[in-house]
Amino acid sequence: MTTLATYKRWLANRPVSVHLLLSLIAFCWLSAKLIGWKVWVAERTFPVIAPFDLLYQVPSAGHWVLLGLSIILLVLLIIKPGNKYAQCTLFFSEIASCLLDENRWQPWEYLYLFILGIFILNRTKLSHVAACLVITLATVYIYSGLHKFNESFIINMWQTTILKRFFKVPPVLYKAGWMHYLGYLLPFIETAGGLGLLFSKTKKTAAVLLTAMHIFILLLIGPIGLHYNKIVWPWNTVMILLLYFLFIRNQMISIVERRGLEIRNKIILVAWAVLPALNFIGFWDNYLSWNLYSSRIPRMIICIKDTAATTPLRSYYSGNHTSKICNGKVLLNVQDWSMREMAVPPYPEERVYKRMEVQWNKTYPLAHADFVIYYSPFKKDSASSINQ
């Protein structure tokens, strides 16, 4: 016991290199790439949605080359996280790959890419990296929590997903008024936890609460739970590790709490503390503003009249095939289609759905499909058709 206690004290006092964090991030990033590899290639039924028409001219081989390069560089960063050439090459190759398809702008990809940028900007002053990471993580939790303060989150996530599907709570209980409002504790804990990370006296308590939140998320959507959205399993894992090394173990923060905000790092304050606030007035994207699991993002369904023209998509049709929502036409839920084929959700922006309609009509011109954008919960009178 004495030997074990001595080892634990030695381990707790041992300095942690920030490069270890980058190595852990690279490992989880690579895991996500392999799980959702199909979003990074063009050979799939789900349309590639480029932000500019010119980018559709990039051949399929270009997508594969960028994916292969990404995998090689991530493996290299796992082994040698301090390699500046690997860092810079990965940074720009990931930007190039994401420009080819907006569905690749996943929140975990955005976070990993931005953290990589922090390392590149501060490669000569690694002591500043942790301070930048504190701001990054805190604002992620703050904005993610704020977006969940709405009734749609309480009904869809708290009552339906957590209480009904996960805990098997009977309707008479999960529909009770006190149980309904108890759900608001979830966004409160997340928002308060993010704020707590910014202050010395509260950072450890906040980190412990947020770690418990991530563990619960893994239990909820992991193999022993609902087994859903496995692309974010590595993301939740790495967030636990970052919370531990940055705030609970507390080896890096004490020397940088009042530093790290030089002019070149002010971009972090802008990107992570200011720009996400614009989402509340519709001027910044949902995923880039950490609007996650809030049930307040746009979704789209496709109502197909002539299914003979969409044979490759037959396995992605909704379970009942025909739907009252589609007035007897076959319903294709874009969210389900994307998750089942690519293991990632579609990028939830109306402009992306409109571009998707254009690509669909080029591929399936005889399907005579209707495209309907809606916000949860679905209400037929408030849904909007984007047919031209």
Q: What is the pLDDT along the chain (388 residues), one digit of tens a residue?
A: 556 565 445 444 444 578 899 999 999 999 999 999 999 999 999 999 999 999 999 999 999 999 999 999 999 999 999 999 999 999 999 999 999 999 999 999 999 999 999 999 888 777 788 888 998 999 999 999 999 999 999 999 999 999 999 999 999 998 898 999 999 999 999 999 999 999 989 999 999 999 999 999 999 999 999 999 999 999 999 999 999 999 998 655 443 444 546 666 777 778 788 999 999 999 999 999 999 999 999 999 999 999 999 999 999 998 765 567 888 899 999 999 999 999 999 999 999 999 999 999 999 999 999 999 998 766 665 566 665 4
Indicate the pTM of the whole model: 0.91
Rounded to whole angstroms, how far apart are CA atoms 323 and 325? Answer: 5
The residue among 24, 33, 22 whose CA lies nearest residue 94 is 33
The residue among 111, 107, 50, 45 whose CA lies nearest residue 351 is 50
Within 8 A by CB and 6+ apart from 202, the residues are 195, 196
Q: How many CB atoms lie within 10 A of CB 56?
A: 13
Say which DSSP state 230 is in: G
Contact between 196 and 206 under an 8 Å Cβ cutoff? The reply is yes
Within 8 A by CB and 6+ apart from 17, the residues are none
Within 8 A by CB and 6+ apart from 244, the residues are 207, 211
Alpha carbon distances (Å) from 383 to 194, 215, 301, 318, 376: 34, 36, 10, 18, 10
